[in-house]
Chains A and B, each alone.
Chain A
Amino acid sequence: MNINLTIIGQIIAFFFFVVFCMKYVWPPITAALEERKQKIAEGLDAADRAERDLRAAQEKAEADLQEGKEQSAAIIEQANKRASQIIDEAKEAANAEALRIKVAADAEIEQEVNRAKEDLRAQVAVLAIAGAEKILEATVDQAAHAKLVDKLAAEL
């Protein structure tokens, strides 16, 4: 336990160790630590941002969905309205057509009846003349009496 040259040796060794540590050990490791700290901070930031983005996206999706729902409801309603409108229109058209057909049929029927009446009238005139001929047993001057007979037939 004597003080000797060892003390100088220790000082020199200590000096070299400290210098080495200061130049080659401390800076790289603390730099790595600092860089990691930064990275973690950035990562946390990014996570925060992502969470915010996600929330915004969720809100937007929800809004979009709501809008879509509303739109589709509107479309369905419109379609329903349109459908009933079409049905109404079709009904009306059908009614109108039916009416038209009925009117046409009525007109035709009347026409037919008139024609039949005309035919009947003509035949009645012939029959009446034939009947009269029979009754009179004589030939009637057709030309003389035709005017009379036609007048009779027109009165029928």
Chain B
Amino acid sequence: MATELMTSKSYISHHLTNLTFGNLPEGMTRYDGSTVADGGIWTFAHSSATVNEAAAMGFWAINVDTMFWSIGLGVLFLWLFRKVAVSATAGVPGNLQNFVESIIEFVEENVNSIFHHKNAIIAPLALTIFVWVFLMNLMDLVPVDWIPYIAQQMGIPYMKVVPSTDINATMGMALAVFALIIYYSIKMKGVGGFMAELSLQPLGKWLLPFNLFLEIVGLIAKPVSLALRLFGNMYAGEMVFILIALLPFWAQWVLSVPWAIFHILIITLQAFIFMVLTIVYLAMAHEEH
């Protein structure tokens, strides 16, 4: 029972560990008991129950699997849409063009209903977010063991295929959106206008510090909630798949099939929410209060 518990635990933590490449500091005891030589070592992080090498690498490390899958999926999205864009015809559209057009019209409709200013970046931004996040989430529906198993056979110790279960990916997007919020706030209202918006409401100039605190918390909550909502949903969903995968193989489908079907809704919804909130935040950045 203890060993079974142990293997379950290591199975789960294995599936939740990114393939991290970075520099291990010298003198550190590695997962296999060896000690890192002088000058440190550039390597992939291995983790065991007692050693967390990825954490020891600090900020200057990179999650290779997250980068690989997210960029791969982004390129897939852009390749597919670019293919349609090149051959786009105003005549009778083919199946692929029809499909792409329906997505674009869906995004455009949402943007037009929320965002009432002229800004050429919003709609492509929303489209990129929606499709990219959707594709990253979609990796969740690939059975949890397939790709990590293949990777392990090829000698890659860890492989987390759903980039949106990595806080770096979701936080990266959220920070980019946050930068756009700040940029457009200042561009539309000027530095003074933006500062006034942060400090003179909701309670008037006599309570300026209080207003500032309130508004800054509200401002920072935007990217944080964007990133954590997506991350939390996908991480939890992935976790459930992993737990289901621990069941005897003949019983897994009873839970995994309904959960996967339900998850189709979640991954689409999360992509949609990320897109809509981005549009809303940017619309707010364009508006005078």
Residues of A within 8 A of B (CB): 1-11, 13-15, 17-18, 20-22, 24-33, 35-36, 38-39
Instruction: Tell me, in angstroms, the Cα distance from A6 to B55 when the chains sit together.
Output: 13
Q: How many positions in chain B have a CB within 8 Å of any CB in the partner chain?
A: 52
Q: Among B67, B84, B89, B168, find the residue whose CB has the most chain A CB atoms closer than 10 A.
A: B168
- Whether A5 pairs with B172 at a CB distance below 8 angstroms is no
B151 at the interface (CB under 8 A from A): no
Whether B273 is near chain A, meaning CB under 8 Å from some CB there, is: no
B85 touches A29 (CB 8 A): yes
Contacting pair B104 A33 (CB below 8 A): yes
Contact present for A7 and B175 (CB under 8 Å): yes
Task: List chain B residues, Cβ under 8 A from A33.
Answer: 101, 104-105
CA distance A38 to B171 in the complex (A): 41
Please report which residues of chain B, range 52-86, place their CB below 8 angstroms from some CB of chain A when the two chains form the complex: 54-55, 57-63, 66-67, 70-71, 74, 77-78, 81-82, 84-86
Please determine whether A1 and B124 come into contact, CB atoms closer than 8 angstroms: no
Give the distance in Å from the alpha carbon of A9 to the alpha carbon of B64 in the complex.
10
Contacts of A8 in B (CB 8 A): 172
A24 nearest CB neighbor, chain B only: B82
A25 partner, pick from B58, B71, B81, B169, beta carbons under 8 A: B81
Judged by a CB distance under 8 angstroms, whether B244 is at the interface is no
Cβ of A21: which chain B residues have Cβ within 8 Å of it? 78, 81, 124-125, 127-128
In the complex, the answer to whether B22 meets A6 with C-beta atoms within 8 Å is no
Q: Are A2 and B20 in contact (CB under 8 A)?
A: yes
Contact of B60 among A1, A5, A27 (CB under 8 A): A5
Taking A4-B61, A7-B175, A26-B124 as contacts, is the C-beta distance between A17 and B74 under 8 angstroms? yes
B78 and A17 contacting across the interface, CB-CB below 8 Å: yes
Please tell me if the beta carbons of A26 and B123 are within 8 angstroms of each other in the complex: yes
Chain A residues lying within 8 Å of B74, measured Cβ to Cβ, are 13-14, 17
Which residues does chain B contribute within 8 Å of A2, judged by CB atoms?
Answer: 20, 54-55, 57, 61
Quick one: which of B22, B57, B90, B120 has the most chain A CB within 10 A?
Answer: B90
Within the complex, the shortest CB–CB distance from A9 to chain B, in Å, comes to 5
CB neighbours (8 Å) of A27 from chain B are 85
Residue pairs across A and B with Cβ atoms less than 8 A apart, 10 shown, are A5-B60, A6-B62, A6-B169, A6-B172, A9-B172, A17-B78, A21-B78, A25-B78, A26-B127, A27-B85
Least distance between B283 CB and chain A CB atoms (Å)? 17
Q: A2-B54, A3-B171 are in contact. Are A32 and B90 (CB under 8 A)?
A: yes
Shortest distance in angstroms between A88's beta carbon and chain B's nearest beta carbon? 74
New contact pairs (11) apart from A3-B168, A9-B168, A11-B176, CB-CB < 8 Å: A2-B54, A4-B57, A4-B61, A6-B169, A15-B176, A18-B124, A25-B81, A25-B127, A30-B104, A30-B123, A36-B91
Which residues on A sit within 8 Å (CB–CB) of B66? 6, 10
Contact A29 B104 (CB under 8 A): yes
Task: Scan residues 147-179 of chain B and give those whose CB is less than 8 A from a CB of chain A.
Answer: 166-169, 171-173, 175-176
CB distance from B186 to the nearest CB of A (A): 19
Q: How far is the CA of A36 from the CA of B128 in the complex (A)?
A: 23
A4-B20 CB under 8 A given contacts A18-B124, A25-B124, A33-B104: yes
Contact, CB under 8 Å: B81 / A9: no
- Among residues 96 to 114 in chain B, which have CB atoms less than 8 Å away from a CB atom of chain A? 100-101, 104-105, 108
Partner of B175, one of A11, A17, A18, A20: A11
Shortest beta-carbon distance from A7 to chain B in Å: 4
B residues less than 8 Å from A11 (CB atoms): 172-173, 175-176
A136 to B232, CA, bound (A): 182
Asked if B12 is an interface residue, CB under 8 A from chain A, the answer is no
